[in-house]
Amino acid sequence: MTSTLKKVTSESLKTKCTERDQRLCKSVLLKTMLQFIILGCPWVLGLFMDGSKVLEMIFLLLNSQQGTFIFLIHCVFNQEVRLLYVKWWRTLCATHTPKTEDPETTTSQL
């Protein structure tokens, strides 16, 4: 494979990777490894259950929370998504702030 890649003279291979590309590649590799761990470890644990109720409960807990873990990896740990959530939350809170009452109407009711 390396000999084939060395023979290729395309412009895309001649360009150098930028720091942003390297960060993106590291991020994708990290997320891929974490997904393999999240999806694989409970099933490896399932192979060793052998009738143990404690291991069965851990197996069920880990398998039931896989979606939560994947959400955390792809949304909560992603800076762009976090910034969008903060922006959305601030907009939501700004629209639901309690309105202050007019002091004249409050005193006239007493």
Quick one: tokens of 45? 């644990």
Q: Is residue 110 part of a domain?
A: no
Stretch 11-34: mean pLDDT, rounded? 77
Predicted local confidence at residue 9, as pLDDT: 57
Q: Is residue 103 part of a domain?
A: no
What are 60-107's pLDDT values in tens digits? 898 999 889 888 888 878 888 888 889 999 999 988 766 565 555 555
Q: To the nearest 5 percent, what fractions of the chain are helix, strand and coil?
A: 80, 0, 20
- Domain carrying residue 79: 20-94
**Number of domains forming the structure of the chain:** 1
Q: Is residue 43 part of a domain?
A: yes
| Residue 4: band (very low, low, confident or very high) from pLDDT cuts 50, 70, 90 | low
| Residue 26: band (very low, low, confident or very high) from pLDDT cuts 50, 70, 90 | confident
